[in-house]
Amino acid sequence: MFPLFQYKFAVSPKSRQRFSVTQTLACTAAFCGLLIASTPAWSDSPQRLEGLDAPIVVRVSDEVFSPQSELQTETDVDCCILGVRNRGSADVNGTILINFVPSDENAKLQIRFQGHFVAHTQGNKGPATIHSRSKMAFDLGMVATFDHESGFTPGEPTGTVTPVESDRRISSSMPGLRGRLVHRVASRRMAETKHQVQQICIANARTELIKEMESRVHEQLQSANEKWAKLRSNLDGQPWYGKTPSLRFRSDDGYLVVHVNETDGAKVDADRLADSSELPPPNPNAMTEVLLDRQWVEANEDSGALLAYAASYPRLLSFTFQAATNYNLPHQKQGRWLVFTLKKPSETPVERAFVSAP
């Protein structure tokens, strides 16, 4: 257990009173000590967007979800093209990019697999041997949908594989005139089937690349889902003061957006949630932001609900960062929202994926 923290804040002048509320809180994350350093004073009257639910919005950068990973592999090649068995090796050099994309339904991740595929093969047809080197650029993608119950579910891969370079040469096991004749016949046959062979090679490469992508993405999403299950359990166990919140997940360009309301578990009408244009613009240096509706804060300040949510905030974040560092969570008033920000650490390395709960 970490030392107990004390929070104090001043009430809006509308009440014509000033008093402080002190609440002791214990952070149970065994490896993260987090501190809210500023004490907000609510003085301006927020302009309420009438008829909207979800007084709390949590916005998480996709950098938390391991947005980029490099991939370098070498595999054996053994395939038959137009009756010629080709054997050799293939090198794959690529990058997997993961980004949240705008979606008003379930949150969505765009996963892209980009890079180059270089194959060196050798095939024999009678006395002729064909030596081939081909380089192809690939750009594959899939969309993964995020659901509160099941986590991430990948979709079907799509994309293109494009030839960049191709070099084929012929040798013969026969000497002299007969060898030259073999070379001439094989060269003519190779020219006639060039386009057909190229399309077969592209299709084969695409099949192998999709298998590689699906394998890597499945591994990453499975790991993320395991961590999400633990994080979800912790989220569901937050002190909501007798009310079960309803959570709705959306995504924006580069961010997972979680809307939290007080409907006691009832489903939220999407039309009653603030869309991206009604939220303050994301802080580019923020890893995570918590937005509190100012009118909701004023309505709940006597009960200390603001402090309870502020206390829950670092507890949730403890599952995405490594080890024993204190983070300051300053706030800003932006329109109807109070914005608490956890900035990207400049010196402490960030675990670029969910880490296991203690």
| Listed range (134-138, 212-216, 324-328) with the worst mean pLDDT | 324-328
Higher pLDDT, 235 or 26: 235
Residues 6+ apart with CB under 8 A from 338: 40, 42, 291, 292, 293, 294, 297, 331, 332
- Cα–Cα nearest to 42, from 82, 7, 9: 9
| Phi and psi angles of residue 280, each rounded to the nearest 5 degrees, phi first | -60, 150
| Listed range (34-48, 67-81, 234-248, 310-324) with the worst mean pLDDT | 34-48
Alpha-carbon distance of 32 to 5, in angstroms, equals 14
The confidence score (pLDDT) of residue 98 equals 85
Span 92-101, mean pLDDT? Answer: 89
* Predicted structure pTM score: 0.64
- Cα–Cα nearest to 295, from 258, 332, 337: 337
The highest-confidence range among 16-20, 41-45, 185-189, 319-323, by mean pLDDT, is 185-189
Per cent of the chain over pLDDT 70 is 63
Q: Is the pLDDT of residue 141 over 60?
A: yes
The confidence score (pLDDT) of residue 187 equals 85
The neighbouring-strand residues paired with 94 are 71, 115
The highest-confidence range among 34-43, 119-128, 301-310, by mean pLDDT, is 119-128
Q: Is the pLDDT of residue 315 over 80?
A: no
Alpha-carbon distance of 213 to 144, in angstroms, equals 13
The confidence score (pLDDT) of residue 306 equals 52
The confidence score (pLDDT) of residue 230 equals 75
| 119: confidence class by pLDDT, cuts 50, 70, 90 | very high
Span 34-56, mean pLDDT? Answer: 41
The confidence score (pLDDT) of residue 280 equals 86
The confidence score (pLDDT) of residue 190 equals 84
